[in-house]
Structure 1
Amino acid sequence: MLWARYYSECAPVAALAQHVSPNPLNWQRPSPGWVRLSTDGVALPNTGIRPVGGIFRADDGSWILVFNKTIGKLCPLQAELWGLLLGLQLAWENGFERLLIQPDNMEAIKRVSATKVTSDSCSLVRSIAALRCQGWAIKTQWIPR
């Protein structure tokens, strides 16, 4: 819970301060009726263990649900994919019909958005693809951090 609070209150400010771009991206509420999912994985110093987590927010910006889980020793891409998979599973279980996913890892987005995702060598990518094919609307937007 503390990680989610830090992530929602402090991390976006720090990320925006470090992000140098002619078009900086500020957090925006999702369109009415949409739920926003932000996911991330972090590395614990000297261990290689990467907890993953995320936060769901309603279209008015309020918190709906937060989650975190320590998966084990992972590479950064695996941590991002685990965060997406767990977030999608929770979204489906909670009946969120319109979901805006905003991860900060472009490689994860490319992998789960590829045209031949069902034949991807990574089982996490195939599991994410199976969830995305359920009867719901999902948009993906990269958030640089």
Structure 2
Amino acid sequence: MTARRAWLAAALAFCLVMPGEAAMPRNENGIDYIELPAADIPAAKQFYGRAFGWTFTDYGPDYASFHGAGIDGGLRGEPERPPRGGALVILYAADLEAAEARVTQAGGEIVQPIFAFPGGRRFHFLDPAGNELAVWSDAE
């Protein structure tokens, strides 16, 4: 294990249970933690903070855990832009149009405007690091 990977593993373990906080219940075989790659951690923190109100805990220059997303996760320093077409993280917003406006105002790029699907509506966007995410809402 490289020194960088060992440091990230230690930071991840620390993120899962913060001192003084109760551990979140874990779902056996459930999705437990999400990491988003970002070449510019401060820019990613600014984007997600402005667009979705997330807060962050820094663990050095190459890692920041996020809070307020509904699941534990972090921003991982990666020098290259991620490829599109992998797993899709989908967020929820009661007011889809307001969420789309916040994403745009925070510097995100809408790559698929709001569209209907069985059971709801959603849009897709790229964050400043190039990660594609979506936001959905219940059908009107």
Interval containing the TM-score (normalised by the shorter chain): 0.3 to 0.5
Which structure shows the bigger proportion of residues in helix conformation? 1
TM-score computed with the length of structure 1 as normaliser:
0.34
TM-score computed with the length of structure 2 as normaliser:
0.34
Rg comparison, structure with higher value: 2
